[in-house]
Structure 1
């Protein structure tokens, strides 16, 4: 049995979608492995194989720590070199891209960050450039907000930390918000590598409408999404799994640690 067939025993079937959830409101097509292989997507090449994170904003010590941990996690998750670029100031956003939301916070137009900031600053050896901002984001005037946005063909995306900790990051909500940041970042980058929203099992690649839905999804990619990823980025599956287990253990992300241990047990 292959690695993917073995760990598929730990995939958790999706429950029927409830009103308000992503799958309830959309009729998405199941992306089989064959569909994935035929799709047009970016792949790492010898001189274009680094993931870069671009922090934009004013970050406190806890937020900086979360960005550092996100770098560490993405390096393990994608098994690719991951680096953090020097922080850009919020002054880079012109007035025309800012608005005040009904809750009183300032929001930035997400598309502007992709098209006018990230694409122009993407390093030569970057396969992916992911912006991270502490500002809330909106995708277009009629939308309330968005957690992240990505341009898949250009390999650039942005994630906002703002909603992951309800506007105030503290020691007490650090782990909960970190887990959300790890999920949304790896989800968006997963899309950039050609993986569609997952309809196979509970998976980090499931679509999400709101935080309770994000929280109900695993950080673990299901066996099918792992197979897709591994066919584009050829890494040692067991090495990746052991490294993920260690990361979750160190950060006391206990549910994800338990899931990694359960997969490892099947491989024994």
Structure 2
């Protein structure tokens, strides 16, 4: 080939190379919503992170775990109410079902209520404040594991009684056996044992945070050290209230790698839930994520 032809080809290629080099690589969904992650504040005495040195779980760490995951014929989340629930408490459980179905993008069903008589005397105690408490481990091992439906990937118990994990502990919001895919949480502390119309939304927000947190653990996600996130560890109601119901970008990446849902469809459904329930702070955060995707 003559030098003239070589020059012609070279001059032709330069604009093409410049064109492709100037094209920005399109950001992934996770890279996009990461812009809305809020950095964790320094832990204070009494906070979960203050006295614990937990390892940071990377996405690669998460992928290596042997964890439960939905599969054909075993892909439903079940809620098991245990206790004597009034109409407002029943409404809170139904709203929680709606939320978990949206958050995890999995079919979520409420099982028939079990009575408090299912708890034997050895699994009960009267706390110093006067309320009856139930041993959380008994609920997991002697009730939930034995009753988990065959098509259930997760079974989450919800009690109206307060819970305690062992004699030396005052109380616990929830407890789970991650390898068995069962957990339990109590509604009691979320409304100080007295759910009303005035504190309904506050109690509901706490319940959806704790239940989605525990189920997130069942799917292999450790306590989050990446950003303010529903998967942050919590020691108190004030710490629970401070944490977002929103999963940070890293925890969303972990969750979606297992559940494989449509990210934008999920965000849109979450927006509708928060809008309907007037949970305005979470609605705003969801809208901010959606705005980044436009």
Q: TM-score, normalised by structure 2?
A: 0.91
Partner of 1:80: 106
Tell whether 2:231 aligns with 1:221. no
Tell whether 2:173 aligns with 1:153. no
Provide, for residues 30-52 of structure 1, a one-character-per-residue CA deviation record: whole Å limited to 9, x for no partner.
00000000011101001100000
The partner residue of 1:261 within 278, 287, 293 is 287
CA shift, 1:202, in A, is 0.1
> Take 1:15 and 1:131, find their aligned partners in 2: how far apart are those partners?
32
CA shift, 1:56, in A, is 0.1
CA shift, 1:167, in A, is 1.0
> Take 1:57 and 1:51, find their aligned partners in 2: how far apart are those partners?
20
| Structure 1 counterpart SS, 2:49 | helix
Partner of 1:70: 96
Provide, for residues 120-167 of structure 1, a one-character-per-residue CA deviation record: whole Å limited to 9, x for no partner.
000000000000000000000000000000000000000100000011
Q: Which structure 2 segments of 5+ residues have no match?
A: 1-26
Q: TM-score, normalised by structure 1?
A: 1.00
> Take 1:46 and 1:78, find their aligned partners in 2: how far apart are those partners?
16
> Take 1:73 and 1:206, find their aligned partners in 2: how far apart are those partners?
19
> Take 2:173 and 2:57, find their aligned partners in 1: how far apart are those partners?
23
> Take 1:168 and 1:50, find their aligned partners in 2: how far apart are those partners?
31
> Take 2:140 and 2:51, find their aligned partners in 1: how far apart are those partners?
26
Partner of 1:29: 55
The partner residue of 2:238 within 200, 212, 215 is 212
Provide, for residues 59-86 of structure 1, a one-character-per-residue CA deviation record: whole Å limited to 9, x for no partner.
0011000000000000000000000000
- Kindly tell me the number of residue pairs found equivalent between the two proteins: 268
The partner residue of 1:44 within 67, 70, 83 is 70
Partner of 2:188: 162
- Written as runs of structure 1 = structure 2, the 5 A alignment for 1:112-127 is 112-127=138-153
Tell whether 2:51 aligns with 1:7. no
Structure 1 stretches of 4+ moved >4 Å:
none
